[in-house]
Amino acid sequence: MQPPVSNVSRTQKKKEALALQKLGQQLVALSPEQFAKITLPDELREAVTEVRAMTSHGARRRQIKYIGAIVREIDSQPIQEALDNIRHGDYQMAAAFKQIEQWRDDLRGGNTARIEEILNTCPTAQRQRLAQLTRNAQAEYRKHSGVKASRTLFRYLKQIFAEKPE
């Protein structure tokens, strides 16, 4: 009796195996905080933790191949979705940081109309405190006397941005 014929070519199988190996490499590249957030089978979590401690290039390569083999045995879709969510979250954090920097630079540069936009965007913001921090940052900026007030303004903007409703 002959084994059942598969419709998937050997090349396609190799491509799929390589893709799963790359998924394993992405898991290894995560920070410990990000890695802790992902739900993984114990065997896979242990294998990824082990590869992080390895220094030998050959040993790391073999361990990553082993991780690829483990991933082939489980459903990799939830892992891919978790990695995509982490990546998407990083982009959102970077965009928020740039937005806050822009607000700070505008306020420090004298664009006090930006205060209204900030108050509309972040309802927890206090107008008086924001105006005071803006005045301090503007005075410091004009005198070229340092960055303490600008940092304080940035921290406050970051705080109110984090509290804003989604």
Contacting residues for 116 by C-beta, under 8 A, at least 6 apart: none
Average pLDDT of the chain, as a whole number: 87
* pLDDT score, position 3: 59
In this predicted structure, the answer to whether residue 123 has a pLDDT above a threshold of 90 is no
- CB neighbour burial string for 123-149, b if at least 16 within 10 angstroms, e if fewer: eebeeeebeebbebbbebbeeeeeeeb
* pLDDT score, position 136: 92
Q: How many helices (H) and strands (E) does the chain have?
A: 8, 0
Domains in the chain, ordered, with CATH? Answer: 10-74 (1.10.60.30), 86-163 (1.10.60.30)
Using one digit for the tens of pLDDT, what is the confidence trace for 23-78?
Answer: 888 888 888 888 888 888 999 999 999 998 888 999 999 998 899 889 888 888 88
In this predicted structure, the answer to whether residue 1 has a pLDDT above a threshold of 60 is no
Answer for the pair 45, 37: CB distance below 8 angstroms, yes or no: no
Classify the phi-psi angles of 30: left when phi > 0, otherwise alpha if psi is within -120 to 50, otherwise beta.
beta
Block residue for tokens 């802790």: 36
Answer for the pair 108, 153: CB distance below 8 angstroms, yes or no: yes
Using one digit for the tens of pLDDT, what is the confidence trace for 125-157?
Answer: 899 999 999 999 999 988 888 889 999 999 999
Q: What percent of the chain is predicted at pLDDT more than 70?
A: 96
Answer for the pair 24, 68: CB distance below 8 angstroms, yes or no: yes
In this predicted structure, the answer to whether residue 2 has a pLDDT above a threshold of 70 is no
* pLDDT score, position 162: 85
